[in-house]
Amino acid sequence: MMCKIETKVLSVASAKAPFEKTTMERRELRPHDVLIEIQYSGICHSDIHSAHGEWGGGMFPMVPGHEIAGVVAAVGAEVTKFAVGDRVGVGCFVDSCGECEYCLSGEEQYCTKGVVSTYNSLDYDGNPTYGGYSQKIVVTEGFVVRIPDGLPMDAASPLLCAGITTFSPLKHWKAGPGKKVAIVGMGGLGHLAIQFAHALGAEVTVLSRSLDKQAEALSFGADQYFATSDKETFKSLAGRFDLILNTVSANLPVDAYLSLLRVDGTLVNVGAPSERDQYHVFSLIMGRRSIAGSLVGGIRETQEMLDFAAEHGIVPQIEVISADQVDEAYERVLKSDVRYRFVIDISTL
């Protein structure tokens, strides 16, 4: 019988507090559990919303991190999917009821009992969950995915949230040949959305605040690029898109973006600002348009996304940092001063 497993972590004691290096215990392995030695952990803007208490209900101390890439270090007695040494990933959630219609259809993120998030959540035994800014994590095998050999471990980590969060809605709303897709915001999510939409065969337009990222957007596969700070952009692109994927972490003037949709077009929000959006209902009525939202993606689709990324050479562009640079990295993400995802090298913890 194994004992509880001690791990170093980076945690915040309260909303907006600086990160501290400390230790905590992971649960001892249950029959279907996998112990993962984490190598890299991406910094998602959701970590910042959560660690800053912006979404309400923050549980502290908090260990953020849901873009986890590591290697299996031990397996429970009944684990069949993984063996010691496997390259694996964990994304935004670590358990779900497994019985509701959404779990059964592979969309665990919409579990009716409530999905257990990787951090800032309570598991079904009532224990708080702690995320990937740590050396070790214990996760039941059904919520662990395989990182294909073709993907480097550091660059694979952001795929576990930023990748699946953009891949899933692009697939759901059928981004593909003949479809005009706009990606709004070119950050961690946005720069992957460009690559996925392009690989799926859509015509891809990037809408970013300035022209600063134009050359890189085109290198990621964008066909066109416009600055939203230029009012002409909204005139020249009126009625253009089948699908707009909004990855922006702040509120946008929704009516202006709805005006860029064709009849029957959809504005899908994955960006998750804490304040309410506002729009005029006539912006929908006059073009039979829709506003939608999407939450990450299920485990099966996450594996499909990783395999698709490996096959199409889709890799996040990252800046690897050490564990003592995370506070500074948060500040830089808030200034959009990152190209395009910070990834913590967990060996520095």
Contact residues for ligand NAP, defined by CB under 6 A: 44-46, 49, 161-162, 165, 185-190, 208-209, 213, 247-250, 270-272, 294-296, 333, 336
| Cα–Cα distances in angstroms (integers) from residue 341 to residues 9, 153, 155, 327, 331, in the given order | 20, 14, 9, 14, 13
Calpha distance 140→75 (Å, rounded): 10
CB of 160 to Zn ion, least distance (A): 8
The interface partner of residue 333, options being ligand NAP, Zn ion, none and the CB cut-off 5 to 8 Å by kind, is ligand NAP
By beta-carbon proximity to Zn ion, the closer residue of 161 and 202 is 161
Calpha distance 227→230 (Å, rounded): 6
CB of 184 to ligand NAP, least distance (A): 8
Calpha distance 167→272 (Å, rounded): 17
CB of 293 to Zn ion, least distance (A): 15
Q: Are 172 and 243 in contact (CB under 8 A)?
A: no
CB of 270 to ligand NAP, least distance (A): 4
The interface partner of residue 267, options being ligand NAP, Zn ion, none and the CB cut-off 5 to 8 Å by kind, is none
CB of 289 to ligand NAP, least distance (A): 20
The interface partner of residue 272, options being Zn ion, ligand NAP, none and the CB cut-off 5 to 8 Å by kind, is ligand NAP
Calpha distance 266→241 (Å, rounded): 8
By beta-carbon proximity to ligand NAP, the closer residue of 29 and 197 is 197
The interface partner of residue 90, options being ligand NAP, Zn ion, none and the CB cut-off 5 to 8 Å by kind, is none
| Cα–Cα distances in angstroms (integers) from residue 133 to residues 40, 103, 198, 284, in the given order | 8, 27, 31, 42
By beta-carbon proximity to Zn ion, the closer residue of 5 and 92 is 92
The interface partner of residue 247, options being Zn ion, ligand NAP, none and the CB cut-off 5 to 8 Å by kind, is ligand NAP
The interface partner of residue 249, options being Zn ion, ligand NAP, none and the CB cut-off 5 to 8 Å by kind, is ligand NAP
Q: Are 212 and 194 in contact (CB under 8 A)?
A: no
By beta-carbon proximity to ligand NAP, the closer residue of 76 and 89 is 89
Calpha distance 46→51 (Å, rounded): 8
* CA angle (309 as vertex; 306, 313 as ends), nearest 5: 145
CB of 90 to Zn ion, least distance (A): 12
By beta-carbon proximity to Zn ion, the closer residue of 67 and 141 is 67
CB of 158 to Zn ion, least distance (A): 9
By beta-carbon proximity to ligand NAP, the closer residue of 7 and 165 is 165
Copy the structure tokens of residue 40: 């890299």
The interface partner of residue 209, options being Zn ion, ligand NAP, none and the CB cut-off 5 to 8 Å by kind, is ligand NAP
82-87 contacts at long range (C-beta below 8 A, 24 or more positions apart): 82/34, 82/141, 82/144, 82/146, 86/146, 87/146, 87/147, 87/149, 87/153
Sites of contact with Zn ion (CB under 5 A) = 44, 46, 161
Copy the structure tokens of residue 266: 């959809």
CA-closest candidate to residue 161, choices 61, 68, 289, 247: 68
